[in-house]
């Protein structure tokens, strides 16, 4: 009897069946490509997206789920106070700045993306006047940014005709 018990305990792990769970997507079409450094997966026809979580296991249906590592990025933006007036304008656009400790690149674009005016506002300047007489009536984008990227803002301004 002891022999049968020992034999069954030793052979049971080799004879038993186990289950393996692998990621699987059921869709009407799809493919997975892998060249060792890059992977590309696509599916077509996934109609349901749902996630179940019991505290220890997560089951996600729908889109391909990859293992993601989220890394926090500390973003320190410049604390530059900004006031642009008058808007709309016909001749000059006043830009008041506070706490600007670095040079600021200023660009004026028309709505087609063409660069119309370009200048640099020097560090510690509190006021800049943007001449608008030479540009046509319409909408423009004023983009201001510091070289280190801590200040990056875009504002829409409207240029009116002289008699408006």
Is residue 36 a part of any domain in this protein? yes
- The domain boundary, picked from 53, 71, 89, lies at 71
Q: What is the pLDDT of residue 138?
A: 93
Same domain, 149 and 106: yes
How far is the C-alpha of 119 from the C-alpha of 130, rounded, in Å?
A: 9
Could you say which DSSP state residue 28 is in? S
pLDDT of residue 63: 56
Query: Is the separation of the CB atoms in 49 and 122 below 8 Å?
Result: no
CA–centroid distance for 140 within its chain = 24
Domain-embedded: residue 19? no
pLDDT by position in tens, the chain (length 164): 677 676 666 665 655 555 555 556 566 677 777 888 766 666 666 555 667 678 777 666 655 555 656 666 555 556 778 889 999 999 999 999 888 888 989 999 999 999 999 999 998 888 999 999 989 999 999 999 888 878 888 899 999 986 55
**Domain assignment present for 13:** no
- The span from the CA of 82 to the CA of 153, in Å, is 10
Instruction: Kindly state the tokens that stand for 81.
Output: 């106070």
- Structural domain contains residue 8: no
What is the predicted pLDDT for the residue at 30? 73
Residues 85 and 154 occupy one common structural domain? yes
What does the pLDDT read at residue 18? 57
The torsion defined by the Cα of 153, 120, 141 and 146, in degrees rounded to 10, comes to -20
Domain containing residue 85:
81-159
Do the domain assignments include residue 3? no
Domain count, the chain: 2
* Claim to verify: residue 62 and residue 117 sit in the same structural domain: no
Q: Kindly report the CATH number assigned to the domain that includes residue 96.
A: 2.60.40.3080
49 domain-assigned: yes
**If you write DSSP's letter for every residue of 53-93 in order, what string do you get?**
E-SS-EEEESS-----------------EEEEE-SSBSSEE
Where is the domain boundary, 71, 103, 129? 71
What does the alpha-carbon distance between residue 139 and residue 109 come to, in Å, rounded to a whole number?
9
- Contacts of residue 126, defined as CB under 8 A and 6 or more positions apart, other chains included, come to 96, 97, 98, 100
Give pLDDT, residue 99: 83
């Amino acid at each position: 009897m002891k022999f049968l018990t020992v034999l069954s305990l030793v052979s049971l792990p080799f004879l038993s069946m186990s289950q393996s769970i692998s990621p699987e997507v059921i869709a009407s079409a799809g493919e997975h490509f892998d060249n060792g450094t890059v992977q590309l997966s696509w599916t077509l026809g996934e109609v349901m997206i749902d996630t179940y979580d019991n505290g220890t296991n997560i089951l996600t249906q729908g889109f391909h789920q990859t293992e993601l590592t989220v890394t926090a990025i500390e973003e320190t933006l410049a604390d530059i106070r900004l006031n642009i007036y008058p808007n709309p304008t016909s001749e000059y656009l006043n830009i008041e700045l506070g706490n600007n400790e670095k040079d600021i690149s200023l660009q004026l674009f028309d709505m087609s993306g063409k660069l119309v005016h370009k200048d640099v506002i020097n560090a510690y300047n509190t006021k800049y006047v943007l001449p608008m007489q030479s540009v046509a009536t319409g909408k423009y984008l004023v983009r201001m940014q510091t070289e280190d990227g801590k200040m990056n803002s875009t504002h829409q301004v409207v240029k009116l005709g002289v008699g408006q």
